[in-house]
Amino acid sequence: MTVGRFNIELLEAFVAVAEMGNVTLAGARLNRTQPCVSTQLRRLEDRVGKPLIERAARSMELTAAGRILYQHATDILKSHEEARLRLSAPELTGTVHVGLPEWSTTGQLQSIFCNFVRIHPNVKLEMTVADSATLHDKLSRNELNLAIALVCPAKPEPAGVVEEQLHWAAGDAFAPSDPVPLILFPEPCPFRDISFRALAGAGRQWYERITTTSVAAAQVAVNSGAGVCCLPSGAIVDGFRILKEQDGFPALPATKLAVYTPAKAQSPIVDYLEAHLSELLQNAIPSRSALTGKSQPELRVV
């Protein structure tokens, strides 16, 4: 049997369901209705000639064919988007200074900027990795052209704010205890206060076991079983256990990320980046399925 040619919109629907965890969230990501996404999934299955998803009463899993297609579809969509951007983007030349929070530098968020300079070979990228307080400070001194940072309560909230869930992260070797040994970042990290308030509200005691300025060092400490750390989704790596309410750890809120630029006039490079970054940021934040530690996304029906 020969498989029919693939349609980009059908592949987008399939990948969105796989990565977002259910049809409803996939529709919201793609700005399509749930029936539209479901119809596109069926059309793709008809075109492939094989079921891609096994549907049960309350769950759905990728079939063997679905796993194969998922691997190829992500590459196809990435190439398609890069070609579209290269053909539609203006000619840009110059240097852009950008800032990123440390936990995002090994994931999709950094890849946005790497793809940007591939599409624009005459642009030089200078990247600063730091905590959000430092990034906001550098923006105020015009040392950065643009930064993705945690929303600053002292500043007006910009448009295009994206939420990223926080989690209690522990290693496989961690043994629950009271008081809870915490791995923390120094002030003025907002994750400290969030951790303290959440544990206090649950009646849990804690102590500060390790304090570090480095997300990488905190990840090593978590993996070693030294303690528990409050981390955003982008900092969760393979081997981490996510502690939940059934483990005695209260639910945590989501953090808010946004794109910031200085008040002074910007270059065409920064204007273009700012105009396109909010949508890209939304898709770069890890979804729930990214935290399962599985090579195949776990799909749930809502």
For 212-223, what is the mean pLDDT?
92
pLDDT tens per residue across span 29-81: 888 999 999 999 999 999 998 889 887 666 678 889 999 999 999 999 988 87
Alpha helices in the chain (DSSP H): 8-20, 23-30, 34-48, 64-88, 108-119, 132-140, 190-201, 215-224, 268-284
How many CB atoms within 10 Å of residue 257?
25
Structure tokens, 5: 């040619």
For 270-277, what is the mean pLDDT?
77
Structure tokens, 47: 């075109």
CA-to-CA separations, 24 to 7, 33, 253, 298, in angstroms, rounded: 21, 8, 21, 15
Mean pLDDT (the chain) is: 82
Residue 107, pLDDT above cutoff 70: no
Predicted confidence band at 100 (pLDDT cuts at 50, 70, 90)?
Answer: confident
Q: Global pTM?
A: 0.64
Q: Which residue has the higher pLDDT, 105 or 5?
A: 5
Predicted confidence band at 300 (pLDDT cuts at 50, 70, 90)?
Answer: very low
CA 18 to chain centre: 15
Confidence at residue 192, expressed as pLDDT on a 0 to 100 scale: 92
Structure tokens, 89: 């983007």
Confidence at residue 282, expressed as pLDDT on a 0 to 100 scale: 65
Pairwise CA distance, residues 94 & 88, whole Å: 19
Radius of gyration for the chain, computed over Cα atoms and rounded to the nearest angstrom: 21
Q: Which residue has the higher pLDDT, 111 or 282?
A: 111
Q: Let me know: does 129 contact 105? Beta carbons within 8 Å.
A: yes
Q: Which residue has the higher pLDDT, 164 or 39?
A: 39
Q: Which residue has the higher pLDDT, 105 or 42?
A: 42
Predicted confidence band at 285 (pLDDT cuts at 50, 70, 90)?
Answer: low
